[in-house]
Structure 1
Amino acid sequence: MLWIDIDEPDAGELERLGQLLNLRRGAWTAQDAGRPMLENYGEYFRFSVSTAPAPNHGTDDRLPNSTEERAVPGSIRVDFIVSERWLVTVHAGNVPCLDRFREQDKAETLIGLLTGQALAASLLDWHLGEYFQEVSRIEEAADKLDERVLRESASGILLGRMVALRRRVSRLRSLLVAQREVFYGLSRPDFALVTDSGAAPFYEGLVTRFERAVDEVERTRDVVVGSFELFTSRTGQQTNDLVKVLTFLTAIVGFCAAIAGLMGMNFKLPFFETGTTGFSIVTGGLVFIALISVAYARHRDWI
C-alpha cells in the first residue's frame, strides 16, 4: 500500500500526480470547495474533511458558513483520494492528526499491509480524536473561568471570555456537523461496493464515533452555558450585597437626620443654650451611633 501525503501543493505537482495514478482529468477541482463532500469515481473515491481549530486560534470572532469552511482560523481542509492499494492526502498546512499517526510507529510495523480504504478509516478516527481533544481544552478553560467567577468580582472581562468560549464551541460544532455527509456516506450500501470487506466495519464504527463527537460538543456547549448562569448568579449576588449596603447607609443617614431635626425644633430648652458644647455632644453622639450600627451590621453579615 502506498500513502502519498502532499503539503502545500501547486497545480503542476497535482497534475503530475493525477497522471501517475491515472486519475480523471480535473479530479482536483471537481469537488465543491465550500463544504466536505463525498464522490465516487468507481476505482477510487474522494472526500474532504476539516480539522478541529488549533488551540491558538480559539478567540477569533468569525464563524464558519456553508460557503467558506476555511473562514475558521486554525482549521485545515484535508482532501482524501482513496483506492484499494494507495491513498493520497492533500492539505495546505500542518495537520496534527496525520503527524501523530506517523509518530506512533517507533519501529518497523505491519501498517503497510493495510489497504488504502482501511488506512483512510484509521486516519479519520485520528481526525475525530482532534475534536475530542479540543472539547477537553474548552472544558478545561470553562473550569478555570468558573473558578475566576467565584473568586473575583463579576466584570466585563469575564463576560467577554465566556462569549469567546461560546463562539469557540459554535465553530467546533459547525465544522463537525458539516462533515456528517462524509461519515454517513462512507457506510452507505453504495459505497460498500468500492470499499473492501475488511474496511467496511471500520467505516460503520466511524459513524458511531462521529455521533459521539457531536454529543460531546453539544455537552460542552451546555457547560459554557452553565458558566454564564454562574456568572449571572454571581452578578445578582453582588447587586444584592450593594443594595443591602445602600439600604443600611440610607437608614443611618435617615436616623441621623431625624436626630438633627429634633435638635432643630423651636423650643426653648436649656440644652440648646450650651453652644459649642451641645453641638459637639450631638455630633459625637451621631458619629458614635453610626459606628455602633456599622459594627453590628458587620457582625450580623448584613453588609
Structure 2
Amino acid sequence: MAVQAYLYDADGRDREVALKDVALDDLGPEDLLWIDVQQRDSGTLEEVRSFLGLHPEVWGSADSGRSQLENYRDYVRFSVTTAPSPESRSDSAERVIPPDGGSENGVSGSVCLDFVVAERWLVTVHDRDVPCLRQFREQDKADTLTGLLSGQALAASLLDWHLGEYFQEVSRIEEAVDRLDERVLRETTSRSLLGRMVALRRRVSKLRGLLVAQREVFYGLSRPDFALVTESGAAPFYESLVGRFERAVDEIERTRDVVVGSFELFTSRTGQQTNDLVKVLTFLTAIVGFCAAIAGLMGMNFKLAFFDTGLAGFSVVTGGLVFIALVSVIYARHRDWI
C-alpha cells in the first residue's frame, strides 16, 4: 500500500483510515492524523499535497536529498537520513557495499525520510521500509493517548526513534570490532583481516557523515523561530533532541577510536609475529652455523685414525649433529625462545 493513514483518537479508538474518510476540519485537540507515504511517486505525492492543501513546491525541495529545514508558517518540512539497517541491506556485519550498490547517499541500507509537520497532522515520506517508524507503530498494543500529542511532538518522538537507530548501528559496529579483535588475537594476521578493518573504518566514516549532515535539522528545530510555527509546546522536546543528537555524534567518534584501536592491535600482533619469526630464523641460523663448524672441523687436513673409520665415522658425526640440533630445539622451546 502506497499510503497508510493512522488516526490517533485519545477519546476513542486508534485506527488506520482511508484519506477520503478523513476531514481535516473535524480533527479536534484529541485527534492526530499520521499519513505515511511509502512510495515516492508523483501521483501519490500530489494526492497527499491536494488533500492537505500544501504548497505546490513542497515536494520539489525534497528531491535535493539534503537534510534541510523549511518553514511554511502553518507547517514545516524537513528530511533526515536513517542509519543503515541490517534488515534492508545485504552486507554482513563486517562488510560495506560500494556506493554503486543501489543505496541512498552511497550507504547501503540508509533511507531518506521526509517529514511535513503541522499542529494536528504529520506526513512521512520514504521509498523503503523504515524500521524506526514500524517499531513505533508496533509498540502500541492497545488504544493510546497519542492523539493528545501535537504533530510536532509526535515528530520529535519519531526523531528520537530515528536517532536510536544510529545508536544501534554503533552497537553493531562495536560487536563486529570485538569479533575482529578476537580473530586478530587467535589467528595469524593476514591481509583479509586488514581489509575488514578498512571496511569497518569506512563504515564508521559514512555513518558519521550521514548523521552530521542532519545537524541543520536538529539545531534548526530547536531555534526560537520554529516555536512560532504553532503553539504546540514541543520546543522542550526538540531541545532535548539536540543533546541526544550530540551524544550520537560522540558515540560515533568513540567508535572510530575503537576501530583505530583494533588496527593498533593488528599492528602489534603483526610486530609480535615478526619478532617470533626473526627469533626462529636466528636460532636456525645458529644451529646451521654450529653444524657447519663441526663439518669444517671434520674436514681438517690432519691424519687421525678417526678420519679413516669410513661409513661408521660418517654415521657417528651425522647422528651427533642431528642429536645436537634436536636437543637445541627442545631447549629453545622449553625457554620459549621459539
Structure 1 residue 268 corresponds to structure 2 residue 298: no
Aligned length in residues: 300
Paired residue secondary structure (2:119): coil
Paired residue secondary structure (1:30): helix
TM-score if structure 1 supplies the norm length? 0.95
Structure 1 residue 62 corresponds to structure 2 residue 98: yes
Q: Does the 8 A contact of 1:117 with 1:196 survive in 2?
A: no
| Structure 2 residue aligned with 1:154 | 189
Q: Does the 8 A contact of 1:69 with 1:175 survive in 2?
A: no
| Structure 1 residue aligned with 2:65 | 34
Deviation at 1:245, TM superposition (A): 0.5
Within 5 Å, give how 1:25-174 maps onto structure 2: 25-31=56-62, 33-55=64-86, 56=89, 57=91, 59-62=95-98, 70-174=105-209
Paired residue secondary structure (2:64): coil
State the identity %.
76
Give 4+ residue runs of structure 1 displaced > 4 Å after superposition.
none
Residue segments in structure 1 that go unaligned for 5+ positions in a row: none
User: Higher mean Cα deviation, 16-25 or 128-137?
Assistant: 16-25
Deviation at 1:9, TM superposition (A): 3.2
Residue 207 (structure 1) aligned to one of 242, 245, 259: 242
1:116-160 per-residue CA deviation (whole Å, 9 max, x = no partner) reads 011000000000000000011111111111111111111122112
Matched residue type, 1:38: L
| Structure 1 residue aligned with 2:51 | 20
Structure 1 residue 233 corresponds to structure 2 residue 268: yes
Residue 321 (structure 2) aligned to one of 278, 282, 286: 286
TM-score if structure 2 supplies the norm length? 0.86
Q: Does the 8 A contact of 1:63 with 1:171 survive in 2?
A: no
Aligned mates of 1:35, 1:184 — CA distance in 2: 15
The RMSD of aligned alpha carbons is 1.5
Residue segments in structure 2 that go unaligned for 5+ positions in a row: 1-31
Aligned mates of 1:61, 1:18 — CA distance in 2: 36
Q: Does the 8 A contact of 2:177 with 2:259 survive in 1?
A: yes
